[in-house]
Structure 1
Amino acid sequence: MKFIKYLLLTLITLALLTVGSIVGLYYYVKPELPSVNTLRDVRLQIPMQVYTADGKLVSQFGEQRRIPLSLEDIPQPMIDAILATEDSRFYDHRGVDPIGVLRAFRVLVTTGSIREGASTITMQLARNFFLTRERAWMRKIKETFIALHIEQLLSKDEILELYLNKLALGHRAYGVGAAAEVYYGRELGQLNLAEIATIAGLPQGPSILNPISNPQASVQRRRIVLRRMLDENLISNEEYQAAFDAPVTARYHGAVIEVSAPYLAEMVRHEMVERYGAETAYTSGFKVYTTVHSEHQLAAEKSVRDNLHAYDERHGYRGPVNRLWGDLAREVMSEDEEPEQTLLDPETRAIPERRGSERWESDEIIEYLSRQRTFGPLVPAVVIDVGEQEAQLMLRNGDSYQLDWQAMDWARPYIDADRQGPAPETAADILTEGDHIWVRRLDDGSSYRLAQVPGPSSALIALQPDSGAVAAIVGGYSFGMSQYNRALQARRQVGSTIKPFIYAAALDDDYTLGTLVNDAPITQWNPGAGSAWRPRNSPEVYDGPIRLRKALARSKNVVSVRLIRSVGVDRTAEYMERFGFAAEDIPRNESLSLGSASFTPLEMARAFAVFANGGYLVDPHFIARIEDSDGNDTYVASPPVTCADCQLRELYEDWWEHELPQAPRVISEQTAFLITEGLNSAIWGGGSWPNQTGWNGTGWRAQNLRNQNIAGKTGTTNDVRDTWFVGYSTGIVAATWVGFDNVENALGRTTLNSNLGRNRQPIVGSEAGATTALPGWIEFMRSALEDFPSEPLELPTDMVSVRIDEDTGLLSNQSGYTSRFEYFVRGTEPTQFVEQEDSSPRLFEDDDDELFR
Structure 2
Amino acid sequence: MKTLIARRLLKRKKLLCTVAGLAVAWLFIWYALPWFFPGPEGLVHPEKPGAVVLDRDGGRIATLPGRDYYHCEPVPLRAVPEMLVKATLAAEDKRFYSHGGADFLALGRAVVTNAAGGEIVSGASTITQQLAKNANRPGKRNLASKMREFFQARRLEMTMSKEEILEAYFNRLDYGNLRRGPAAAARFYFGRNMDHLSLAECALLAGLPQGPSRLNPLNYPDRALERRNRVLRRMKEEGMFPGEMLDRALQEPLFSSGTEKRRQALAPHVTASFLRAFRTGEVHTTLDSDLQRGVQEIVGRELANLEDHHVTQAAVVVVENATGDILCLVGSANRKHPQGGLLDGTSMPRSPGSALKPFVYAQAFTLGAYPGTVLPDVPTTYRSAHGLEAPQNYNKTYMGPISIRKALACSQNIPAMRALGSFGGPSRLLKLLKELGMQGIDGNALHYGLGLAIGNAEVTLRDLTAAYACLAREGKAVTLNLEKAPVAESFPERPVLPAASCFLVADILADREARRATFGDHEMMNLPFRYACKTGTSSDFRDNWCVGFTREITVGVWVGNFDASPMRQVGGMTGAGPIFAGVMKLAHRNRKATFPQPGADLVRIRIDSRTGKRTGAMQIPAAYVREEWASPANMPGEASPGDYDARGRAYLDSRYTEWFTSPSCTAADAWCLLPEYWSGEPPRVLVPRDGSRLILDPEMPGGGRMLKLRSNLPMGALWSCPTLEIVQYGDEAHAVLAPGTHVITVRHPELNLEQSSTFSVREL
Q: How do 1:522-671 residues align onto structure 2 when only pairs under 5 Å count? A: 522-524=380-382, 532-539=388-395, 541-542=397-398, 545-566=401-422, 567-582=424-439, 583-585=441-443, 587-622=447-482, 636-637=484-485, 658=488, 661=491, 663-671=493-501
Instruction: Give the drift of 1:304.
Output: 3.4
Instruction: Give the drift of 1:265.
Output: 3.3
Is the contact between residue 287 and residue 327 of structure 2 (CA under 8 Å) also seen in structure 1? no
Aligned to 1:487: 345
Is the contact between residue 101 and residue 118 of structure 1 (CA under 8 Å) also seen in structure 2? yes
Paired with 1:169 and 1:740, the residues of 2 have a C-alpha distance of: 36
Give per-residue Cα distances to partners, 1:102-125, cap 9 Å, x unaligned: 9689979x9999999775543332
**SS of match in other structure, 1:726:** strand
1:685 aligns with 2:514: yes
**SS of match in other structure, 1:466:** coil
Aligned to 1:300: 298
Counterpart amino acid of residue 138 in structure 1: A
Paired with 1:476 and 1:797, the residues of 2 have a C-alpha distance of: 43
Give per-residue Cα distances to partners, 1:537-571, cap 9 Å, x unaligned: 44455555544333323334333333333323322
Could you tell which deviates more after superposition, 698-707 or 600-609? 698-707
**SS of match in other structure, 1:808:** coil
Aligned to 2:668: none
Q: How do 1:26-105 residues align onto structure 2 when only pairs under 5 Å count? A: 33-36=37-40, 39=43, 42=46, 70-74=76-80, 94-95=100-101
Give per-residue Cα distances to partners, 1:250-297, cap 9 Å, x unaligned: 6257995656866x63312321212426xx6xxx89897833515641
Aligned to 1:268: 270
Q: 1:142 aligns with which of 143, 148, 151?
A: 148
Aligned to 1:497: 355
Check 1:822–1:149 CA distance in 2 against 1; reply closer, same or farther (3 A cut): same
Is the contact between residue 607 and residue 628 of structure 2 (CA under 8 Å) also seen in structure 1? yes
Is the contact between residue 200 and residue 228 of structure 2 (CA under 8 Å) also seen in structure 1? no
Check 1:267–1:588 CA distance in 2 against 1; reply closer, same or farther (3 A cut): same
Paired with 1:261 and 1:208, the residues of 2 have a C-alpha distance of: 23
**SS of match in other structure, 2:298:** helix
Check 1:471–1:287 CA distance in 2 against 1; reply closer, same or farther (3 A cut): closer
Q: 2:635 aligns with which of 808, 829, 842?
A: 829
Aligned to 1:468: 324
Paired with 1:195 and 1:841, the residues of 2 have a C-alpha distance of: 78
Aligned to 2:130: 124
Give per-residue Cα distances to partners, 1:470-513, cap 9 Å, x unaligned: 45555555542323447325433222222211222222223333
Q: 1:796 aligns with which of 599, 614, 623?
A: 599
Higher-Rg member (1/2)? 2
Q: How do 1:193-204 residues align onto structure 2 when only pairs under 5 Å count? A: none
Is the contact between residue 296 and residue 471 of structure 1 (CA under 8 Å) also seen in structure 2? no
Is the contact between residue 473 and residue 551 of structure 2 (CA under 8 Å) also seen in structure 1? yes
Paired with 1:739 and 1:191, the residues of 2 have a C-alpha distance of: 39
Give per-residue Cα distances to partners, 1:755-777, cap 9 Å, x unaligned: xxxxxxxxxxxx64456544554
Is the contact between residue 730 and residue 789 of structure 1 (CA under 8 Å) also seen in structure 2? no
Report the number of matched residues.
629
Could you tell which deviates more after superposition, 206-215 or 116-125? 206-215
Aligned to 1:807: 610
When the two chains are superposed, the root-mean-square deviation of aligned CA atoms in Å is: 5.4
Is the contact between residue 555 and residue 580 of structure 2 (CA under 8 Å) also seen in structure 1? yes
Aligned to 2:531: 710
Could you tell which deviates more after superposition, 141-150 or 76-85? 76-85
Name structure 1 gaps, 5 residues minimum.
313-453, 624-635, 639-656, 687-694, 749-766, 847-853
Q: How do 1:388-427 residues align onto structure 2 when only pairs under 5 Å count? A: none
Paired with 2:575 and 2:190, the residues of 1 have a C-alpha distance of: 45
Aligned to 2:707: none
Could you tell which deviates more after superposition, 715-724 or 664-673? 715-724
Give per-residue Cα distances to partners, 1:353-386, cap 9 Å, x unaligned: xxxxxxxxxxxxxxxxxxxxxxxxxxxxxxxxxx
Give the structure-2-normalised TM-score.
0.65
Is the contact between residue 308 and residue 458 of structure 1 (CA under 8 Å) also seen in structure 2? no
**SS of match in other structure, 1:213:** helix
Instruction: Give the drift of 1:712.
Output: 2.6
Check 1:186–1:606 CA distance in 2 against 1; reply closer, same or farther (3 A cut): closer
Is the contact between residue 60 and residue 255 of structure 1 (CA under 8 Å) also seen in structure 2? no
**SS of match in other structure, 1:584:** coil
Q: How do 1:752-831 residues align onto structure 2 when only pairs under 5 Å count? A: 768-769=571-572, 773-787=576-590, 789-813=592-616, 816-830=622-636
Counterpart amino acid of residue 124 in structure 1: Q
Q: 1:515 aligns with which of 352, 369, 373?
A: 373
Name structure 2 gaps, 5 residues minimum.
1-5, 656-764
Check 1:802–1:50 CA distance in 2 against 1; reply closer, same or farther (3 A cut): same
**SS of match in other structure, 2:517:** coil
Instruction: Give the drift of 1:52.
Output: 9.5
**SS of match in other structure, 1:598:** coil
Instruction: Give the drift of 1:213.
Output: 0.9
Instruction: Give the drift of 1:806.
Output: 2.5
* Identical amino acids, percent of aligned pairs: 27
Give the structure-1-normalised TM-score.
0.59
Paired with 1:218 and 1:207, the residues of 2 have a C-alpha distance of: 15
Is the contact between residue 607 and residue 617 of structure 1 (CA under 8 Å) also seen in structure 2? yes
Task: Identify the structure with bigger relative contact order (alpha carbons < 8 Å, sequence gap 6+).
Answer: 1
**SS of match in other structure, 2:306:** helix
Instruction: Give the drift of 1:40.
Output: 7.1
**SS of match in other structure, 1:493:** coil
Check 1:524–1:115 CA distance in 2 against 1; reply closer, same or farther (3 A cut): closer
Instruction: Give the drift of 1:671.
Output: 1.8
Check 1:56–1:28 CA distance in 2 against 1; reply closer, same or farther (3 A cut): closer
Check 1:285–1:224 CA distance in 2 against 1; reply closer, same or farther (3 A cut): farther
Q: 2:223 aligns with which of 213, 216, 220?
A: 213
Paired with 2:294 and 2:19, the residues of 1 have a C-alpha distance of: 77
Paired with 2:408 and 2:146, the residues of 1 have a C-alpha distance of: 81
Aligned to 2:168: 162
**SS of match in other structure, 1:274:** coil
Paired with 2:508 and 2:643, the residues of 1 have a C-alpha distance of: 27
**SS of match in other structure, 1:713:** strand
**SS of match in other structure, 2:595:** coil
Aligned to 1:325: none
Is the contact between residue 50 and residue 63 of structure 2 (CA under 8 Å) also seen in structure 1? no
Is the contact between residue 525 and residue 577 of structure 2 (CA under 8 Å) also seen in structure 1? no
Is the contact between residue 74 and residue 171 of structure 2 (CA under 8 Å) also seen in structure 1? yes
Instruction: Give the drift of 1:95.
Output: 4.1
